[in-house]
Structure 1
Amino acid sequence: MEISHAKQVINIDAKLTERINELLSHYPADKKKSAMLPVLHEVQDAHDNWLSIELMDRVAEILEVQPIEVYEVASFYTMFNQKPVGKYMFEFCRTSCCAIRGAEDLMDYTCSKLGIKEGETTPDGNFSVVGVECLGACGYAPMLQLGDYYKEHLTKEKIDALIDECRDNKVNLH
């Protein structure tokens, strides 16, 4: 697990608490741990798309589990970020269908265009580029996920247009 030393403001406000309690209501009271994935998603979404150690500790308190149990889950799944990421996170599928169709080259192209390496964030905090495991859209390869949306049948031209749309704040992430 990569440990982040960045400081994060933890804000479990009334709205987030209400949402967490609603999620917990779907599980037996003595099995709060069962809600870990949806709770982590909600908490991460409310905290600039990343989970600091302190925030994961807070989730452990809420779920009444040991902090290590939260760390194990958060470090296993690529959908959870343990360091600050860009507002626009380009998650390139890098498994077979996408790889065969050129996803690695497009990821390299995107990194070059943004002046970063895979796993890095641009200095302005707007863009991150990461490779992830199968996103389940093999018929639309190569593809990436941006926020809640898939961007499919990618080309360099589509990447250029997507970067421009992000810079112009014309991309809906949710």
Structure 2
Amino acid sequence: MKTEIEAEDKISDLKPLKKIVKMGQREGWGLIKILQQVQVEYGYLPKDLLKRTAEMLKLPYGKVFGVATFYAQFHLTPRGRHIIQQCDGTACHVKGGVRVGRFLREELGIGPGETTEDLKFTYEVVYCLGSCGLAPVAMVDGRVYGELSVDKMKKILENLE
């Protein structure tokens, strides 16, 4: 799998990008807001889109790339249809989160911050989901699951399309 810096996907349909940049300029959006909207439209920010965004905004590519790589909210590689965020904060760690994390890595065949080749899952490790009383927890597609065990996590994965 390519690393974020190596992803060179070429985007053929630039109409949405042009529309977003034009709207952003008209509305006075800053670069971050424009990049957020571009990512919503395309699902991630490949280097080709960053280069074209820089050209359209008449900004140095390095500035646009720097913003996109500085903020964790931006993704330079395609993300999975299902985002799994497994908590490894203190409470989750000591209450069995380590076993859940090991299961996820083995079952999905990927490590933290990676996406399966079929683009079905992206697996991330986070350090607090704000649900310590339910430890161990994970968030799957924005929904928090608590008091996890390997068996519960297995069932959650089975129920995803």
Q: Shorter-normalised TM-score: what interval?
A: 0.7 to 0.9
Separation of aligned partners in 2, 1:100 and 1:140:
12
1:78–1:108: structure 2 CA closer, same or farther, 3 Å change rule? farther
The offset of 1:153, in angstroms, is 1.0
Using structure 1 for the length normalisation, give the TM-score: 0.68
Give the AA of the match of 1:153: G
The residue correspondences of 1:43-122 to structure 2 (distance < 5 A) are 43-47=38-42, 49-122=43-116
- Quote the residue 2:137 is aligned against: 143
- Quote the residue 1:152 is aligned against: 145
Can you give the 5+ residue segments of structure 1 that lack an aligned partner in the other structure? 169-174
Does the Cα contact within 8 Å between 2:89 and 2:127 map onto a contact in 1?
A: yes
Matched residues, percent identical? 25
Residues 76-98 of structure 1 deviation map (CA, whole Å, 9 limit, x = unaligned)? 23222222232222122334444
Give the AA of the match of 1:77: Y
Counterpart secondary structure, 2:85: strand
Counterpart secondary structure, 1:46: helix
Residues 55-104 of structure 1 deviation map (CA, whole Å, 9 limit, x = unaligned)? 12233345543322222222223222222232222122334444344434
Residues 109-154 of structure 1 deviation map (CA, whole Å, 9 limit, x = unaligned)? 112112333333323221121223544444544333444x132315
The offset of 1:3, in angstroms, is 0.7
What RMSD in Å do the two structures reach over aligned CA positions? 3.3
Using structure 2 for the length normalisation, give the TM-score: 0.72
Counterpart secondary structure, 1:128: strand
Give the AA of the match of 2:41: A
Counterpart secondary structure, 2:117: coil
Can you give the 5+ residue segments of structure 2 that lack an aligned partner in the other structure? none
1:41–1:94: structure 2 CA closer, same or farther, 3 Å change rule? farther
Instruction: Select the structure of larger CA radius of gyration.
Output: 2
- Quote the residue 2:15 is aligned against: 13
Does the Cα contact within 8 Å between 2:8 and 2:47 map onto a contact in 1?
A: no
Separation of aligned partners in 2, 1:90 and 1:161:
14
- Quote the residue 1:125 is aligned against: 119
